[in-house]
Amino acid sequence: MKIYFLIFSLFSALILTAQQNNPVFDQKLADSLGADEYGMKNYYFVILKTGPTKLTDTAEINTIFRGHMENIFRLEKSGKLVVAGPFGKNEDGFRGLFIIDAKSREEVLQLLDTDPAIKQKVFECDIYDWYGSAALPEYIEVHKKIEKKKP
């Protein structure tokens, strides 16, 4: 009987050790970022792919892509767009990605519909639920301090 008590005690100690609280945990920061107890939250991961619309007019291409970039900056400023960036050339037709902080897929669709490149079907989108660090938006302010030129 003593051996079972010893094994139980050791097992309990291991569990308690593995679940210790983080000594540098900041409740105020976690709350401000919408973090769960693991410091994570739900986002939407959007893959932009080459769409069916093929543009040949340089002026139209410039207008649509200028609108695309303006929309990216607008969504970032509103706090909805957490990450955005293009892919290099690839055989899958992947053009870029967004990580969006939204309450629902419907909200994501509404936000994507404000992008002229998506509206004109230059890009198509695949949307995935994604669970990532609630601290992810914090990089934006750091990035502003290290970008020498804006696109």
- 3-state SS assignment for residue 47: strand
pTM over 0.75: yes
Residue pLDDT, tens place only, 19-76: 578 888 889 999 999 999 999 999 999 999 999 999 999 999 999 999 999 999 999 9
Residue with tokens 């607008």: 74
132 — pLDDT class (breaks 50, 70, 90): very high
Give the start-to-end residue ranges of the domains of the chain. Answer: 25-146
| Structural contact between residues 44 and 130, judged by C-beta atoms closer than 8 angstroms | yes
Alpha carbons 56 and 46: distance in angstroms, whole number = 26
Name the token pair of 46.
Answer: 């959007």
- Selecting from 3.30.70.1060, 3.40.710.10, 3.30.559.10, 3.90.1150.10, what CATH number does the domain 25-146 have? 3.30.70.1060
